[in-house]
Chain A
Amino acid sequence: MTAVLYAVIYAALLVFGVSTVVRAVGYARAPVHLRWELYPVPHEPSERLKHGGSYFEISEWWTEPRRPNLAAEVGWMAREILFLKGLWDANRPLWFRSFPFHFGLYLLAGTGGLLVVAAVGSLAAPAALAGTAGLVLRGLYRVTAVGGFALVLVGSAGLLHRRLTDPTLRTYTTPGDIFNLLFFLAALGLVALGLVARPVGSPGLLTVTIGLLTFDTGVRVEPVLAAGLFASALLVAYIPLTHMSHFVAKYFTYHAVRWDDAPLRDNGKLAAKLAEYLTYRPTWSAAHMKADGVKTWAEVAAANPAEGARK
């Protein structure tokens, strides 16, 4: 049974990793689109960023060297990723549900990382973790785990409650949306319950992590915790297959769309990509398109559908 649990966890992590990479690569390999930015763009210098301005506010902007304000962009990202700043500004009632949910997930991800560190430490240098360092590490992951489980459960319950009771959302809510939130509640609720209710001395998260790293099938995980871990593993595998993989998408919607203000001027790499796109052969059927699947995009753009009428 323990072997099956380990296999499922490893498989889930693999599915998560591969699916996330495949999704990210898919978006990254999509052609560079026409510019479609939205202001404010946070890598503008602070004197322009404060009012949402762009380099278009400078006369002959192309003569000025571009110096992206990376500090401001990183600060913006940090506020958005960690605290969902945009949601705080635009939809406060949702923020009170969504923020705990997302921040709880960060804490749980952090818990996972700390557990791996603690497990590797216990295996590689048990003496080092016997003292204060071990105490701190264990204290830390316990805090992040408790905080994480509490926040995710509260957040997902809040989101589910909103989705079930707000008539506005009813039109747009699918069974899958309800299932997703229930899945979070059930999987993480079971893990939390398993941890709280397990007998003293029975394997906890650190023991399971060490067991996972060593594939020690002798670890006897209590049934409720095992069920929770099993469900959580499935959840981890499931997330990147759904719209909940917006942690991947958000990088692109922000960096590749909203904030992509890179001009073509003096950008040889971009010019090379565009040269390739202009050789694509569109097949749109409307008569004015003059796209027959033979003409390239550049030829279609150069054609004048009103040419006959002009003569």
Chain B
Amino acid sequence: MRERPRLSDMSQRGREPLIHLENKDLMPLPASLDDPSKERESAPLSAQTRERYECFLDDTCAVSVPRPATKEEEDRLVAAFLAGLEKLFTKENNWTFLQPLLLTMEHCAKCQTCSDACHIFEASGRNEVYRPTFRSEVLRRLYFKHVRHGGLVSAWQHGDIELNWPLVARLIELAYRCNICRRCAQTCPIGADNGLVAHELRKLFSQEMGIAAKELHETGSMLQLKAGSSTGMSSLVVKDNVEFIDEEMTEKTGIKVETPWDVEGADVLLIHNAGEILAWPENPGAFAVILNAAGVSWTMSSELAAYDSINYGVWYDDAQFARVALAHARAAKKLKVKKIVLGECGHAHKALMVVADRLLTGDLNVARESSLTLLRDIVVGGRLKLDPSRNDFPVTLHDPCNMVRLMGIVEPQREILRRICPEFREMEPHGVDNYCCGGGSGFAIMGGHNFPDWRFQVAGRKKLQQVLTAFADCLEATVPKYLCAPCSNCKGQFRDLLAYYDLWERHRILYGGLVELIVNAMTDVKPGFIEWEWR
């Protein structure tokens, strides 16, 4: 194992990982986590896992590609990769991202400005394998050699790399060591986009080789297209669960809560991340309380996939992405609603409002809006009676990358918080310069082998540092603190990250959404909507 892995090491044969991270290598954390010797050790991959799967990039394994049984199988997989690589650069197969991909392939100046922007690279102690350009440079060299068919001059100009199965296997894993938060792209002086490279590699593996993280494909987009939701809930089950939530909310708030379903001609079709319904029922419950109290004409849809805003395809597969986006648009069209409003889910926002925009042609281009603007209008417009003193505890805001850096929705959530949370404080940096929670691009739902250890210790480390710093003046456990994350995936990451470092017990840091804070401040609602209990 080299101290600083080289690009050529990607092709290295043998089953030893290229790198190994020790706690002492990682970026230091602030108090009370500032002693690396007390930090939990990452669980090693089992010998069986290492034997069965291609897990020889680093200490973990996200995709679990089975080990090829024969050399012939390896050759077949490499040939498939090569075929996919060529398709990635044709307009017939990849018109969706061809132009930005070409620009990124052909114009990186290799200045490494992007590296300092990457939270994973920084948190890993600046490990070379996690440098944003490491992955991109491998693809770039393959592009010039195998797609542009460059010879010796090209190799001299762009660099060379050996294409073999170990390289492909490592590249599959490496495509899943990036949150695709695109903070690196934001700082690139040229405009090259290393986040896009991770996205396109995942796409190649999925669309050509049928290889993707199981949580994104098999139990993600495929299950959504089969059952209606990646949670597995059918329309009957989801209606049942929401009815139960309505009852619970009625009891908890003291006001009658009812969620309307399939109301034709409603102004708003509200689509939640269905994970909320199962994991954080108070979130869809709070939405119902607010929308009813504000007199909004709204509905939910029980159509296939339309009661679950998730669209995991946005992270790995254009076809799966388009299929789910179309299902959302068709449901809205069928109900003849005025607009779709997306609940607190960052990737669902970006997927349906931004990335899918040019796929929703004709009358499928239904108006789509963020719940944050609707909520801002309700709160700032005085449509609810609110008492900020009910939220008189330290609150900080996590900016979901998809909503903020990638959509420019920065202020509405802050306008709300400034109005209802007297102790609101920002993380630094924030807004479009924010850091990913570490759960982005699907990581929040990926939990195979020891991947969660890596997700918390490396991918989530920078955000953990930010959270502890934001609350540095009130870390004592006697002061309850609220980490507001208006995004389901981010909340999933925070739930697991805070638990991993025991920050509820140590510091009373609770996480939750934005609507919960609004309802907690509503004077018409029984006090104590936010329950200071760890769940």
Interface 9-residue window, one of B65-73, B183-191, B273-281, B474-482: B183-191
For the complex formed, measure the closest distance between the CB of A259 and the CB atoms of chain B, giving whole angstroms: 10
Are B159 and A174 touching (Cβ within 8 A)? yes
Q: Is A280 close to B, CB under 8 A?
A: yes
Residues of A260-297 contacting chain B, CB below 8 A: 261, 263-265, 270-271, 274-275, 277-278, 280-291, 297
CA distance A285 to B203 in the complex (A): 12
Judge if B113 is at the interface, Cβ distance under 8 Å. Answer: yes
B323 cross-chain contacts in A, Cβ below 8 A:
301-305
Shortest distance from the beta carbon of A172 to any chain B beta carbon, whole Å: 4
B103 touches A270 (CB 8 A): no
Query: Which of chain B's residues have a CB closer than 8 A to the CB of A271?
Result: 361-362
Docked CA distance A252–B406 (Å): 18
A257 within 8 A of B: yes
Does B209 have its Cβ within 8 Å of any Cβ on chain A? yes
Residues from chain B with Cβ under 8 Å of A179 in the complex: 156
* SS of B interface (majority): helix
B389 lies within 8 A of chain A by Cβ: no
Tell me how far the C-beta of B32 lies from the nearest C-beta in chain A, rounded to whole angstroms.
32
Interchain CB contact under 8 A, B93 and A57: no
Complex Cα spacing A98 to B192, Å: 17
Contact flag A288-B319 (CB < 8 Å), given A39-B404, A56-B373, A263-B357:
yes
Evaluate contact between A33 and B98: CB separation under 8 angstroms: yes
Chain A residues 72 to 114 lying within 8 A of chain B, measured CB to CB, are: 84, 86-87, 89-91, 94, 98
Q: Is B354 an interface residue (CB 8 A)?
A: yes
Instruction: Digitize A45-86: 1 where CB-to-B-CB distance is under 8 Å, 0 elsewhere.
Output: 000100111111111111000000000000000000000101
Picked from A84, A242, A291, the residue with its CB within 8 Å of the CB of B189 is A84
Say which residue of A52, A243, A274, A291 sits within 8 Å of B410 (CB atoms): A52
Query: Does A41 touch B at the CB level, under 8 Å?
Result: yes
Find out whether the CB atom of A36 lies under 8 angstroms from the CB atom of B100: yes
Q: Is the CB–CB distance between B408 and A41 below 8 Å?
A: yes
Taking a contact as CB atoms closer than 8 A, the residue among A39, A168, A304, A309 that contacts B407 in the complex is A39
**B222 an interface residue at 8 Å Cβ cutoff?**
yes
Q: List B165-191 residues whose CB lies under 8 Å from chain A.
A: 182, 185-191
Tell whether, in the assembled complex, residue A175 and residue B156 are in contact, meaning their CB atoms are under 8 Å apart: yes
- Which listed residue (B190, B210, B217, B431) contacts A52, Cβ 8 A? B431
Nearest-neighbor residue (CB-CB) of B349 within chain A: A56
Query: Which residues 110-143 of A have a CB within 8 angstroms of B?
Result: none
Whether A301 pairs with B326 at a CB distance below 8 angstroms is: yes
A interface residues, tally (CB under 8 Å): 91
Could you say which residues of chain A place their CB within 8 Å of the CB of B91? 30-31, 277, 280
Which partner residue on chain A sits nearest B8 by CB separation? A171
CB <8 Å contact, A176 and B158: yes
Contact of A264 among B80, B95, B225, B357 (CB under 8 A): B357
B52 contacts chain A at the CB level, 8 A cutoff: no
Asked if B431 and A51 make an inter-chain contact with CB atoms under 8 angstroms apart, the answer reads: yes
Query: Do A56 and B408 have beta carbons less than 8 Å apart?
Result: yes
> Is B272 in the interface zone, CB < 8 Å from A?
no
Which residue of chain B has the shortest Cβ distance to A263 in the bound complex? B357
Contact: B6 with A285, CB < 8 Å? no
Take A246-B109, A249-B103 as given contacts and tell me if A90 and B187 are in contact as well, using a CB distance cutoff of 8 Å.
yes
A207 to B319, CA, bound (A): 62
In whole angstroms, what is the CA distance A259 to B509 when docked?
A: 37
B496 at the interface (CB under 8 A from A): no
B196 within 8 A of A: yes
A/B pair count, beta carbons within 8 Å: 273
Whether the pair B110, A177 counts as a contact (CB closer than 8 A) is yes
B322 interface residue per 8 A CB criterion? yes
Question: In the complex, A52 Cα to B376 Cα: how many Å?
Answer: 18
> If the complex has contacts A56-B407, A270-B358, are A288 and B93 also in contact, measured as CB distance less than 8 A?
no
User: Does A306 make an interface contact (CB < 8 A)?
Assistant: yes
B370 within 8 A of A: yes
Contacts of A285 on B, CB cut-off 8 Å? 80, 83-84, 207-210
Taking a contact as CB atoms under 8 Å apart, the answer to whether A253 and B208 are in contact is: no
Expressed in whole angstroms, the Cα–Cα distance for A253 and B106 within the complex equals 11
- Closest Cβ of chain B: how far from A99's Cβ, in Å? 11
Cβ of B107 and Cβ of A59 under 8 Å apart? no
User: Are the C-beta atoms of B360 and A264 separated by less than 8 Å?
Assistant: yes
In the complex, are the beta carbons of A57 and B409 less than 8 A apart? Answer: yes
Chain A proximity of B29: nearest CB distance (Å): 24
Interface string of A27-43 (1 = CB under 8 A from B): 10011111111111100
Let me know if B367 is at the binding interface, CB within 8 A.
yes
Q: Kindly identify which residue among B7, B80, B106, B322 contacts A243, using a CB–CB cutoff of 8 Å.
A: B106
**Most chain A beta carbons < 10 A, residue from B7, B100, B353, B377:** B100
* Interface residue A220 (Cβ < 8 Å from any Cβ of B): no
With A264-B357, A274-B358, A302-B326 as known contacts, state yes or no: A90 contacts B113, CB within 8 Å. yes
Q: Which A residues lie within 8 Å of B159 (CB)?
A: 172, 174
A215: CB under 8 A from chain B? no
A202 at the interface (CB under 8 A from B): no
Q: Which residues of B contact A280 (CB under 8 A)?
A: 91-93, 95
Q: Give the contacts of B98-146 with A (CB-CB under 8 A).
A: 98-100, 102-104, 106-113, 115-117, 128, 133-134, 137
Q: Which residue of A lies closest to B108 (CB)?
A: A243
Are the C-beta atoms of A274 and B326 separated by less than 8 Å?
no
Q: Which residue of A lies closest to B7 (CB)?
A: A171
B49 at the interface (CB under 8 A from A): no
- Known contacts A249-B103, A264-B365; is-contact A53 B92 (Cβ 8 Å): no
On whether the beta carbons of A286 and B112 are closer than 8 Å, the reply is no
Query: Which of A60, A287, A305 sits near B367, CB closer than 8 Å?
Result: A60
- Min CB distance A154 to B, Å, is 18
Contact B406 A39 (CB under 8 A): yes
What would be 24 A-B contacts, judged by CB atoms less than 8 Å apart? A27-B102, A31-B98, A33-B98, A35-B355, A35-B358, A56-B353, A56-B370, A56-B373, A57-B411, A57-B412, A171-B128, A171-B134, A172-B110, A243-B108, A250-B107, A254-B191, A280-B95, A283-B93, A288-B210, A289-B319, A291-B319, A301-B319, A305-B222, A310-B226
Q: A36-B196, A51-B432 are in contact. List 6 more A-B contacts (CB 8 A).
A: A27-B103, A90-B116, A257-B103, A263-B357, A264-B360, A264-B361
